Amino acid sequence: MAPVTEYEDYRIYMQDYYNERKRTTSFSWREFTRASGFTSPTYLKLVCEGKTRLSPQGAEKVGLAMGLAGFEFEYFKTMVSYCHAKTDQERKNAYETMLRLASKNKVKIIDGDAFKYFQSWINPVVRELAPVMPGATPGEIAKRFCQVVSAGEVRNSLEFMVRAGLLKKNGDAYEQVDKHLKGVTSAVSVALRYMHREMAHFAEEAIIRYAPSERNFTGLTMGISAEDYEKILQELDFCRKRIAQIALNSRGTERVYRLNLQLFPLTWKEDKSNAKTDS
């Protein structure tokens, strides 16, 4: 069975634990539940099926019943908090705790690098700037940012991306490594949403901060169907890929730009259930 740090959903971990015990012994849900100190013989089965949930106290009982100890025990309890977080901020805080626990004990979390990368908008900018500024200090790179960024933030970003295999250092120069990080897990999706919010804020500032010759803002308000929406998504995806190819074939980097493709509703769908009909 995989270590607990390879999970971000405690229900899946519990189910895998049960399946592994069941495979080698006559282990039952009744036995699992009793060992965890609960009275209902099917309680943990219902938890794994998503029909109920563990409380913080329940997480401690189940963690001990599964033989978890030390940082793995703390990781499991935090994972329960992560799964039941009500806001992105709570979920982000819990996942950061999971990352710290794993890092402190020299254990790697699956998609942990992706979470860290998308957690800060500074990382993708540094990844573009560093390779075209050979020999530059973190402070010199920081001065190229339009937003206020410290040398320490740039240094941390560089060190992280070298460890994560996103940049490779050759002497005093950096080069990009052809490695892609995608938002697959829910934790990475949370980090992506934070980055999108930050970039949207920068876009708002850009309307006033930069001359029209340095930025481009266009918009279109339209009424469409669900089928039209899917077609537009395909067009936007095709456009994004074409633009990415242009950037990939670029002969040099003069500035780092951010392109936001934004399509969002301005009205709710019609509630046809309450629509009036002619009698």
Which residues are paired to 222 by β-bridges?
Answer: none
**What pLDDT score does 273 carry?**
54
Each residue's pLDDT tens digit, 180-204: 665 556 778 888 888 898 999 999 9
Angle (CA) 31-34-35 rounded to 5° is 85
Q: Residue 244 domain-assigned?
A: no
Q: Residue 75 domain-assigned?
A: yes
Please say if the pLDDT value at position 211 is more than 60: yes
Q: Residue 145 domain-assigned?
A: yes
Each residue's pLDDT tens digit, 132-174: 999 999 999 999 999 999 999 999 999 999 988 889 999 989 9
How far, in Å, CA of 154 to CA of 171, rounded? 18
Predicted confidence band of residue 272 (pLDDT cuts 50, 70, 90) = low
Q: Are residues 87 and 145 in the same domain?
A: no
**What pLDDT score does 277 carry?**
45
Q: Tell me the CATH number at 136.
A: 1.10.10
Q: Residue 230 domain-assigned?
A: no
Please say if the pLDDT value at position 262 is more than 80: yes
Each residue's pLDDT tens digit, 13-72: 999 999 999 998 999 999 999 999 999 999 999 999 999 999 999 999 999 999 999 999
Please say if the pLDDT value at position 108 is more than 80: no
Q: If you average pLDDT over residues 117-143, what whole number do you get? A: 94
Please say if the pLDDT value at position 213 is more than 90: yes
Percent pLDDT > 90 in the chain is 68
Q: Are residues 87 and 167 in the same domain?
A: no
Q: Are residues 119 and 208 in the same domain?
A: yes
Q: Tokens for 104, please give them.
A: 């402190």
* Integer CA distances (angstroms), 277 to 90, 251, 269, 274, in order: 46, 63, 18, 9
Instruction: Give residue 104's domain range.
Output: 4-108
> Where does residue 16 rank: exposed (0-12), middle (13-18), buried (19+ CB within 10 A)?
middle
Q: Residue 128 domain-assigned?
A: yes
**What pLDDT score does 102 carry?**
85
Q: If you average pLDDT over residues 93-119, what whole number do you get? A: 85
Q: What's the number of domains the chain is made of?
A: 2
- Helix/strand/coil (H/E/C) assignment for every residue in the chain: CCCHHHCCCHHHHHHHHHHHHHHHCCCCHHHHHHHCCCCCCCHHHHHHCCCCCCCHHHHHHHHHHCCCCHHHHHHHHHHHHHHCCCCHHHHHHHHHHHHHHHHHCCCCCCCHHHHHHHHCCHHHHHHHHHHHCCCCCHHHHHHCCCCCCCHHHHHHHHHHHHHCCCEEEECCEEEECCCCCCCCCHHHHHHHHHHHHHHHHHHHHHHHHCCCCCCCCCCCCCCCCHHHHHHHHHHHHHHHHHHHHHHHCCCCCCCCCCCCCCCCCCCCCCCHHHCCCCC
Q: Are residues 185 and 210 in the same domain?
A: yes
Say how many C-beta atoms besides its own lie within 10 A of residue 265's C-beta: 8
Q: Are residues 75 and 61 in the same domain?
A: yes
- Residue 72: which of 10, 27, 12 has the closest Cα? 10
Q: Tell me the CATH number at 65.
A: 1.10.260
How far, in Å, CA of 155 to CA of 251, rounded? 26
How far, in Å, CA of 54 to CA of 248, rounded? 48
Q: If you average pLDDT over residues 98-115, what whole number do you get? A: 82
**What pLDDT score does 105 carry?**
84
**What pLDDT score does 274 carry?**
54
Q: What mean pLDDT value characterizes the chain?
A: 90
Q: Residue 200 domain-assigned?
A: yes
Residue 276 has φ and ψ, to the nearest 5°, of -75, 145
**What pLDDT score does 278 carry?**
47
Q: Are residues 100 and 167 in the same domain?
A: no
Predicted confidence band of residue 207 (pLDDT cuts 50, 70, 90) = very high
